[in-house]
Amino acid sequence: MAEIGRQHYIAEAPLLYVFVIDERRNAMIARRRGIGIEDGSFTLTTSYRFTQAQNDATLALHAMDTAANAFGLGTVVLGSILNDVAGLIEALRLPRYTYPVLGLAIGHADQRPALKPRLPREAQFFTDHYPQDDETLLDGYIDDFDDAVHHYYDLRNADRPVDALSQQIATAAVSTDVLGKGVSQPAKDQGFSLDR
């Protein structure tokens, strides 16, 4: 997992959970009841079911995160385990109709970093409608936020510079590495069809 996530501390976590979409059990129940799970009428692999199952897995992760924090433990949510979805599926021996969502490392925190900067509320919460003007959405927020995030990461580790958030987003928007992480092919390989 540490190799897939490219974060050494994953291997050092006392507890590591990987939250998984699990439609396999439902598929097996449906098959036992005479439903043909390989034909086009099988709905457990639709994008709606995939999204709902992903939401359930994410909610379960956050419930566990909240409980761990209530006991004074530290947690790290690990999206990085999706750096190699196919490798993760193989490592966990996940069967068809299952799919990894996120990881959660739990242990005693060895540091208490400052809270990571967040966009101002005005850039996240809107009344009655989403802003129609792109400039309204970006002006006054993005440049200042880029500076704040850059400063935050510089304070944490000046030897490992991190691009400004807007540059990270721009890079990810065209990165073939990000395309390799997409859910389309691995999800289809796991029995999920995201095009319905």
How far apart CA 12 and CA 189 sit, in angstroms, is 31
pLDDT in tens, 121-154: 888 888 898 888 777 677 778 888 888 888 887 7
The pLDDT, as a whole number, for residue 193 is 60
The answer on 95 and 47 residing in a single domain is yes
Domain hosting 143: range is: 114-162
Q: Among candidates 146, 87, 80, 94, which has minimal Cα distance to 117?
A: 146
Q: Which residue has the tokens 């540490």?
A: 2
The pLDDT, as a whole number, for residue 90 is 95
What's 23's domain CATH number?
A: 3.40.109.10
| Dihedral angle over CA of 77, 16, 156, 80, nearest 10 | -60
How far apart CA 81 and CA 35 sit, in angstroms, is 34
Domains held by the chain: number:
2
The answer on 128 and 99 residing in a single domain is no
Q: What is the mean pLDDT of residues 167-181?
A: 65
The answer on 10 and 106 residing in a single domain is yes
Q: Which of 29-38, 77-86, 175-184 comes out lowest in average pLDDT?
A: 175-184
Model pTM above 0.95: no
Q: Which pair of structure tokens corresponds to residue 28?
A: 């097996």
C-alpha pair distances (Å), 58 with each of 52, 103, 137, 180: 10, 10, 27, 22
* Residue 94 included in any domain: yes
Q: What is the mean pLDDT of residues 78-103?
A: 94
